[in-house]
Amino acid sequence: MLKEGFLFMFVSSFMALFPVANPVGSGFLVNGFLSGLDDRQRKVVIRKIVVNYLLIGLGSLAIGHFVLSLFGLSVPVIELGGGLLICKTALQWLNDSDSSISAAPNKAVDPIAMSKINSQVFYPLTFPISIGPGSVSVIFTLMASASVKGDIVRSALNYALIALVILLMCLILYLFLSQGQRIVSRLGRSGSMIINKMIAFFTFCVGIQIVTEGVAKIFRLNVLQ
């Protein structure tokens, strides 16, 4: 029964976090920003994104509730604010005529362009694109279900399983970031731009969804039913 309980915790955590985190879609979207980097530059940027992802995911699991209590915030407010950030970022991508395709692949980006990319590593490439407020809110929800009153050992093991799921999300994202350039190069310049615009549009829709969920929770509405 104990093993079945832990297996259920792992599977349910994975199923809850995967569609929200969407490491596959996020990987394709971020790859649009990295299309002009050479292999060395891509590895540096991808490493930073992965580290930031782990810090946000595991940090939310470790001290998330403490941070919310410290600032007097609630999860619906986090969803509302994060959703607005996603919408703002997606609109910028939609309005830029060719923002995600700069230099030709495998050619070094000039220092100014590289500096701009580095400034975007945390926001928006890591947060809220790779791991956003929706993922953070799911982690908070999983934390509530992982806590077993009076059983510290089981609670700790449940938290470890959630951490493992976060690591798996990060691994999937890394695989698509490291291998995505091959797919992008096959699509060509026009194909890549079309894919980026489509993903930007869907990202905007995701932002609207998160905003709607936040508003619905704050005002206790049933607008999504």
With 80 as the cut, is the pLDDT of residue 219 above it? yes
Specify the residue for token string 């932002």: 207
Q: How many CB atoms lie within 10 A of CB 151?
A: 11
CB-count burial class (<10 Å; 0-12, 13-18, 19+) for 222: exposed
- pLDDT tens-digit map of 82-111: 778 778 877 877 786 554 444 444 455 556
CB-count burial class (<10 Å; 0-12, 13-18, 19+) for 169: buried
Q: Which two tokens stand for residue 144?
A: 């509530």
Q: Is the N-terminal amide bond of 76 cis, ω within 30° of 0?
A: no
Of residues 4 and 43, more confidence is placed in: 43
State the Cα–Cα distance between residues 13 and 139, nearest whole angstrom. 9
Q: In degrees rounded to 5, what are phi and psi of residue 15? A: -65, -30
- pLDDT tens-digit map of 199-209: 778 778 877 87
Q: Give the pLDDT score at 124.
A: 82
CB-count burial class (<10 Å; 0-12, 13-18, 19+) for 188: exposed
Q: What letter does residue 104 receive in the DSSP assignment?
A: P
* pLDDT tier, 2 (very low <50, low <70, confident <90, very high otherwise): low
Q: Which two tokens stand for residue 132?
A: 């956003």
State the Cα–Cα distance between residues 131 and 216, nearest whole angstrom. 22
Q: What letter does residue 78 receive in the DSSP assignment?
A: H
Q: What is the mean pLDDT of residues 33-52?
A: 86
* Lowest pLDDT segment from 64-78, 101-115, 209-223: 101-115
Residue 169 contacts residue 73 (beta carbons within 8 Å):
no
Q: Which two tokens stand for residue 96?
A: 């830029």
With 80 as the cut, is the pLDDT of residue 49 above it? yes
State the Cα–Cα distance between residues 88 and 155, nearest whole angstrom. 38
Residue 146 contacts residue 156 (beta carbons within 8 Å):
no
* pLDDT tier, 169 (very low <50, low <70, confident <90, very high otherwise): very high
State the Cα–Cα distance between residues 137 and 165, nearest whole angstrom. 15
Of residues 203 and 23, more confidence is placed in: 23
Q: What whole-number percentage of the chain has pLDDT above 70?
A: 84
With 70 as the cut, is the pLDDT of residue 11 above it? yes
With 80 as the cut, is the pLDDT of residue 149 above it? no
Q: Give the pLDDT score at 1.
A: 45
